[in-house]
Amino acid sequence: MFSLNKKMSCKIKKLDLSPSWDFRRYLHVGTFSAFLSLERLNLNVSLGIRSEMFANLPKLRILNLNLGGRELLPCHCDDLCSLEKLDLFRVDIKKLEFFVLPKLYSFRMSMNYILNEITHETFKNLPKLKILNLSRNQNLATLHTKCFSCLPFLEELNLSLNQNLSTLHPKCF
């Protein structure tokens, strides 16, 4: 059973959870709220989750999610405003959109099988983004005009191994 002493959980700064746990029984909204000092969370599970599960994590800076091809259900979670690095691997998202993440400098989304376009509004709430990795997204085919124009600090862009992406128009920037 997934159970932690509240005093102990408040001091934990890094937490790694793998699929060996029976997550369907224990992960729910507010699951990580006892981890007030949590700075890094690596979550590797094969079930869809809601981003509200990460509420009340004021110090979380790094979030790595591997959902085994399951969907991350959207929400607007203000509690992740300290997030600096977000990695989504094998997380299916139909429409990529962000709530305001003022400190996020690195975003990676790889092996998404349902996202097919990036619009001019996709990254508008990521004002400090420097590193953007959208590699290996099987159905990504369309980059709309000005889709990266709202990223004035962008230094690294990885669009490799997107089989359906055939052109990169200069007006994307």
| Residue 56 pLDDT class (50, 70, 90 cuts) | confident
- The mean of the pLDDT values for the chain is 80
- Residue ending a domain, among 58, 90, 122, is 90
* pLDDT, tens digit (0-9, with 9 covering 90-100), for 12-41: 899 887 765 555 555 554 567 778 889 998
- Structural domain of 122: 93-173
Residues 42 and 73 in one domain: yes
Rg over CA atoms, the chain: 17
- Please compute the mean of the pLDDT values over residues 135-140 and round it to a whole number: 91
Domain count, the chain: 2
Looking at the structure, tell me whether residues 136 and 167 fall in a common domain.
Answer: yes
Residues 132 and 100 in one domain: yes
**148 pLDDT band (50/70/90 cuts)?**
very high
User: What is 22-86 written as a DSSP string?
Assistant: -HHHH--TTTTTT-TT--EEEEE-SS-EEGGGGTT-TT--EEEEEEEEEEEE----GGGTT--EE
Q: Are residues 132 and 170 located together in one domain of the fold?
A: yes
